[in-house]
Structure 1
């Protein structure tokens, strides 16, 4: 769903998820500040917000969990301020956020800017400042792409780094500690790397023209089974 489009079936989608016995987590819109999401039209924050408000209201009133998504801190802050100005702070009790923490070719402990997998921490700060708490976060995209060379100060992403860096992220949930040494926040529920399978995207772990990310796949398969623990549990380690 593009940010310039109006969608009339949010409530129907919530009902469909509930009919399947699934928690009705529903993200409304995606990366609205990026030109590709506007299909050649001018990026217009006001238009996006005019569509976001009724979408959020419809998902919430249908009993769904409202998923917000941004990759820009200022747009995130403006979105939250707009919801408050519209008197919609009541939706915050069923809110979740979908960060896209890509790592570029930075290591997992990189925090110098937003081009790192720990960038969700900066979005958490915005939520804390604007609404007083950090909602559940589910990283809907993120991780590393094979061959990435965005920062000349760091090596390109090789098969070995792709493996090691992704395993480091999954170990957050196993060991209860982020790569920068901080405790794993309770609000971070999941990290979904881009991309599991796609014939046309070389970043795909399976089925792409560049072949499978076999080193990464084998390393993830080798991670021992574990149960993620939260801070309120007596034993927060596996």
Structure 2
């Protein structure tokens, strides 16, 4: 969204998000009223809000819990970003970043949000900051936070193409260059994943709260300036990766990548898509709206040639490459609530999940969530004929919660 969350601004912006078929939206708000208006506006279009309170890290009175309660009262999952860019002096009242203070304060507020049933979001710009927070969580034995947290990267692409630094021009200038050599890339978020894996044993969901290509950027003279054409091409490629299930450099799209929320949709900022200063990025809006509708995971484009060549010596994939898959109904009205309830179960057992029958057919075991109106009996029969072991969880959200509590208490991943 933008910083102005007044009713008139939301009336203009929300239809644009609906036209783009957005599914997530970060809301930078100043108070409860702004959050309530904006969350209702986007949720009514089927868009999941993510709250980011505009505060300073060293403010005296801070309470993120009330935003978690606010969203839960609206029957929405409470994704709450706690603080922003702690290494940025502008995020501190005295403009003096204090890493230890940030780590302690984030862990404290994340615990409160998690205990309230919310999902605390961590935003840092540097891997050392991430390591500090994760190690503090382990010291505190903050299991509830670890199980419910998500990460908020800010990958900006400068004026580099989507596959930078692996694109042909950069590889010619700097053979073998990777993100370790230059992270000024939309793929920069990837450098944080190994740290989560090393410190926690898994990678939580990534929801990029700021990202994209800023209009007019010309930082690298080797590449063209970000004008209307490149702005449209690059952002369309970014969102198309959810359709093809491949990153712009041809590698597989990791399951932990949930969403990208480009900065910023509207306002006086020159890089806003609906900018009162630099105009409307109409080519970008048209290019994204023109992407064919899809369900993530159901369409898999072939990898690019150089990736396919590198994989030519790899043995054939096993008959069932997935150990276990949780299959959800694509049109279930309680879809988001199901995901919220499932999260601890999925995290404990490392279970893949989604809405794809094709993905389910690649699993040895499948758990279907919902009745035949959500996932048909025909689909269940097809899976069984393919040799997949299938169980089905029936009932409403309350029944699902009881099933999950029992499975976790009994440490039972799959029914006999």
Q: Do both share a fold (TM > 0.5)?
A: yes
CA–CA distance in structure 1, aligned partners of residues 62 and 282 of structure 2? 42
Equivalent positions of 1:80-99 (< 5 A) are: 80-99=134-153
CA–CA distance in structure 2, aligned partners of residues 234 and 21 of structure 1? 28
In the alignment, is residue 143 of structure 1 matched against residue 197 of structure 2?
no
CA–CA distance in structure 2, aligned partners of residues 193 and 217 of structure 1? 12
Match of 1:24 among 78, 81, 85: 78
Task: Say whether the 8 Å CA contact 2:207–2:259 is kept in structure 1.
Answer: yes
CA–CA distance in structure 2, aligned partners of residues 90 and 221 of structure 1? 39
In the alignment, is residue 60 of structure 1 matched against residue 89 of structure 2?
no
Secondary structure of 2:273's counterpart equals coil
Secondary structure of 1:66's counterpart equals strand
After superposition, the C-alpha distances for 1:132-183 in whole angstroms (9 at most, x for unaligned) are: 1110011111000111022223221121111100000000111111011111
Q: 1:6 to 1:56 in 2, by over 3 A?
A: farther
Secondary structure of 1:147's counterpart equals coil
CA–CA distance in structure 1, aligned partners of residues 96 and 260 of structure 2? 31
The offset of 1:6, in angstroms, is 4.6
The offset of 1:42, in angstroms, is 1.4
Secondary structure of 2:186's counterpart equals coil
The offset of 1:234, in angstroms, is 4.8
After superposition, the C-alpha distances for 1:67-86 in whole angstroms (9 at most, x for unaligned) are: 11111111111111111122
CA–CA distance in structure 2, aligned partners of residues 94 and 206 of structure 1? 34
Provide the residue aligned with 2:69 in structure 1. 15
Provide the residue aligned with 2:358 in structure 1. 235
CA–CA distance in structure 2, aligned partners of residues 149 and 39 of structure 1? 31
In the alignment, is residue 131 of structure 1 matched against residue 200 of structure 2?
yes
TM-score of the pair, normalised by structure 1: 0.93
TM-score of the pair, normalised by structure 2: 0.54
* More divergent stretch after superposition (94-103 vs 2-11): 2-11
Q: 1:50 to 1:6 in 2, by over 3 A?
A: farther
Tell which has more relative contact order, 1 or 2 (C-alpha 8 A, sep 6+).
1
Secondary structure of 1:169's counterpart equals helix
The size of the alignment, in residue pairs, is 235
Structure 2 residues not aligned, in runs of 5+: 1-54, 166-178, 299-351, 360-416
Q: 1:136 to 1:51 in 2, by over 3 A?
A: same
CA–CA distance in structure 1, aligned partners of residues 63 and 97 of structure 2? 24
The offset of 1:65, in angstroms, is 0.8
CA–CA distance in structure 2, aligned partners of residues 90 and 25 of structure 1? 15
Provide the residue aligned with 1:205 in structure 2. 273
Provide the residue aligned with 2:332 in structure 1. none
Provide the residue aligned with 2:245 in structure 1. 176
CA–CA distance in structure 2, aligned partners of residues 147 and 181 of structure 1? 27
CA–CA distance in structure 2, aligned partners of residues 157 and 94 of structure 1? 37
In the alignment, is residue 77 of structure 1 matched against residue 157 of structure 2?
no
CA–CA distance in structure 1, aligned partners of residues 61 and 149 of structure 2? 19
Task: Say whether the 8 Å CA contact 2:115–2:144 is kept in structure 1.
Answer: no
CA–CA distance in structure 1, aligned partners of residues 201 and 127 of structure 2? 16
Task: Say whether the 8 Å CA contact 1:103–1:142 is kept in structure 2.
Answer: yes
Q: CA RMSD in A?
A: 1.7
CA–CA distance in structure 2, aligned partners of residues 174 and 212 of structure 1? 26
The structure with the largest strand share of the pair is 2
Task: Say whether the 8 Å CA contact 1:5–1:51 is kept in structure 2.
Answer: no
* More divergent stretch after superposition (111-120 vs 130-139): 111-120
* More divergent stretch after superposition (224-233 vs 150-159): 224-233
Equivalent positions of 1:209-228 (< 5 A) are: 209-228=277-296
